[in-house]
Amino acid sequence: MIVLGIESSCDETGVALVESTGTGVPVLRAHALHSQVDMHQAYGGVVPELASRDHIRRVLPLAEDVLARAGCTLGEVDVVAYTRGPGLAGALLVGAGVACALGAALRKPVLGVHHLEGHLLSPFLSSDPPQFPFIALLVSGGHTQLMQVEGVGDYRMLGETIDDAAGEAFDKSAKLLGLGYPGGPALSRLAEQGDPAAFRLPRPLLHSGDLDFSFAGLKTAVLTQVNKLADALQARRADLAASTEAAIVEVLVKKSLAALDRSGLQRIVVAGGVGANRRLRAQLDAACAKRGLRVHYPELSLCTDNGAMIALAAAMRLQAGVQQARASYAFDVKPR
């Protein structure tokens, strides 16, 4: 079974072909990605209307590219999958519209995928895939969640952010430090030259006893420091970046360990854009190694949004029998 997957929930257009043989992890045949980062940079953030228009321009050429590289024709595609949500409504509609039009034209069934399930399952495409059950730490621009994952489609939420997401905390702090968009990678790069202990920033909900997160207060603390430093900010920017990153990472690592402890599970999967963060990876690896626990990540190139994770999630859902593709082509999207 060959699944063509389309991702268009935000500012990356992703298309991929995944092949499943009925057993084992489906194989990635090819994937292609176009990032709109350069286009949105001038505005300091994603402009939804521009994002939608660019998805329209990119999606079919990317699909042609993927098919050519996989040595596959459109006629060989068995299922067309797309991101149904969450994300920007207009951007989602482009991927859903194209997927359903392709399905109708090819007389092949279509399947809408939850974007976060794509992130969550993406480590299965790595050279060191996890085994069920595991804890998942989902850390993206819009979400911060800890889940207990028993199998495909069997997810239990253990905790989540009550305000900003971890990626949002990175992005908003980066903006306060005068760094460009997207802020997470920029802040992380600057942090490498700074002292993570230079500023004592809050670790919200660290000792709350539950597995929820809160990052809004951290952003306020960064703003207070920025205002206090005033003209001295430039000289201390790397230190403040490093201290901000350290605060976010400490909370993510401690809560992840607490989730592992409580569940008695031995494995954790980290997915979503913030999963690319080097400090998070180093600290979680060290803490888990000490306790004999395993950590799994997606390949670095599949940490942020991509089509491969959408095609994979669709293939795994179909293979596990938790969902059926449908041969009706009316579509809607779920932005929230």
The H-assigned helical ranges of the chain are 37-41, 48-70, 89-106, 115-121, 166-176, 183-191, 216-229, 233-263, 278-291, 307-320
Of 80 and 139, which CB lies nearer to ligand KG4 in the complex structure?
Answer: 139
| Interaction of residue 36 with Zn ion, rule CB under 5 A | no
d(CA 56, CA 96): 11
d(CA 261, CA 211): 11
| Interaction of residue 168 with Zn ion, rule CB under 5 A | no
327 token code pair = 């041969």
| Interaction of residue 196 with ligand KG4, rule CB under 6 A | no
| Interaction of residue 164 with ligand KG4, rule CB under 6 A | no
Residue from 95, 142, 204, 298 binding ligand KG4 (CB under 6 A): 142
| Interaction of residue 212 with Zn ion, rule CB under 5 A | no
Of 90 and 142, which CB lies nearer to ligand KG4 in the complex structure?
Answer: 142
- CB contact at 8 A, 87 and 10: yes
Of 194 and 272, which CB lies nearer to ligand KG4 in the complex structure?
Answer: 272
List Cβ neighbours of 74 (8 Å cut-off, separation of 6 or more): 67, 102, 106
| Interaction of residue 13 with Zn ion, rule CB under 5 A | no
Residue from 26, 90, 185, 194 binding ligand KG4 (CB under 6 A): 185
* C-alpha neighbours within 13 Å on the C-beta side of residue 130: 27
| Residue 139 assigned to a binding site | yes
From residue 5 to residue 44, what is the string marking binding to ligand KG4 with x (rule CB under 6 A)? Answer: -----x----------------------------------
| Residue 231 assigned to a binding site | no
Residue from 184, 196, 204, 307 binding ligand KG4 (CB under 6 A): 184
- CB contact at 8 A, 172 and 221: no
d(CA 333, CA 336): 9
DSSP notation for 108-160: --EEEEEHHHHHHHGGGGSSS---SSEEEEEE-SS-EEEEEEEETTEEEEEEE
| Interaction of residue 117 with Zn ion, rule CB under 5 A | no
Choices 65-73, 139-147, 229-237, 325-333 (CB under 5 A): range interacting with Zn ion: 139-147
Residue from 5, 85, 118, 183 binding ligand KG4 (CB under 6 A): 183
d(CA 40, CA 60): 21
309 token code pair = 């994770």
| Interaction of residue 140 with Zn ion, rule CB under 5 A | yes
Q: Which residues bind ligand KG4 (CB under 6 A)?
A: 10, 119, 140-142, 167, 170-171, 182-185, 188, 272-274, 276-277, 304-305
Q: Which residues bind Zn ion (CB under 5 A)?
A: 140, 305
